Amino acid sequence: MQTDHKSDGGRGASLSRRKFFQIAAAGTAAAMPAVAEAATGEIPQLPLTDEQQLDASIGQLKNILARMHPGFSIVHGDRLMHGDGGSSVIVSVQKPTRNLFDGDGFYEVEAHGRYYPAGIYKVTRVWSDEDKTFWLWGSLYWDGHLISPREIIAPHSIVRKLEGGAE
């Protein structure tokens, strides 16, 4: 091992194997936490562009929401650009849409906000020439009578069709 220090810029300096391995071990120990973190994280630890970091973050948020809401199988997430140059990130989970309409008849319908209450409805499918689509129209059935004006019934609010007329 070198014991004399010369001012020749390190030329002719020697390093013992023991000192070399101590330096190598210290460097490896300092780098290990970063390597362990990079191996366990889903976001790569390499230098990423801002776009790549944003995409990876949106993917992480989608995975977290999917785990938090296991019954919601539709997961959306994207960055929206605004006209003024700004942007927003929207990540959401949704249940799959259900459409249990199976021809005109009596259906059990769940409440749809303030638009109509839950109950038994006589639901019919009607073509709209103005909108060029079919709409489900329903009248509330109570005590053997249709008692309400017709309402547009959202297909996802139908719970089940009642066989053999209203119960």
Q: What is the DSSP string of the chain?
A: ------SSTTTT----HHHHHHHHHHHHHHHHHHHHHHHH-SS--S---HHHHHHHHHHHHHHHHHHH-TT--EEEEEEEE-TTS-EEEEEEEEPPP-----SSEEEEE--BTTTB-SEEEEEEEEEETTTTEEEEEEEEEETTEE-S--EEPPGGGEEEEPTTS--
CB atoms within 10 A of CB 72: 14
Is 127's pLDDT higher than 90?
Answer: yes
Model pLDDT for residues 71-100, shown as the tens digit of each residue: 888 898 999 999 999 999 999 998 877 778
Looking at residue 48, its pLDDT comes to 86
Determine the Cα angle at 62 with ends 57 and 65, to 5°: 125
**Does the pLDDT value for residue 126 go beyond 90?**
yes
CB atoms within 10 A of CB 161: 15
Alpha carbons 80 and 88: distance in angstroms, whole number = 5
pLDDT at 164: 72
29 band by pLDDT with thresholds 50, 70 and 90: low
Region for 146 from its dihedrals, namely left if φ exceeds 0, alpha if ψ lies in -120 to 50, beta otherwise: beta
Band the pLDDT of 115: cuts 50, 70, 90.
confident
Structure confidence at residue 102 (pLDDT): 85
Look at 46 and 77; give whichever has higher pLDDT: 77
Structure confidence at residue 57 as a pLDDT band (50, 70, 90): very high
Q: Which two tokens stand for residue 120?
A: 């038994």
Are 119 and 109 spatial neighbours (Cβ–Cβ below 8 Å)?
Answer: yes
Tokens of 105: 């008849």
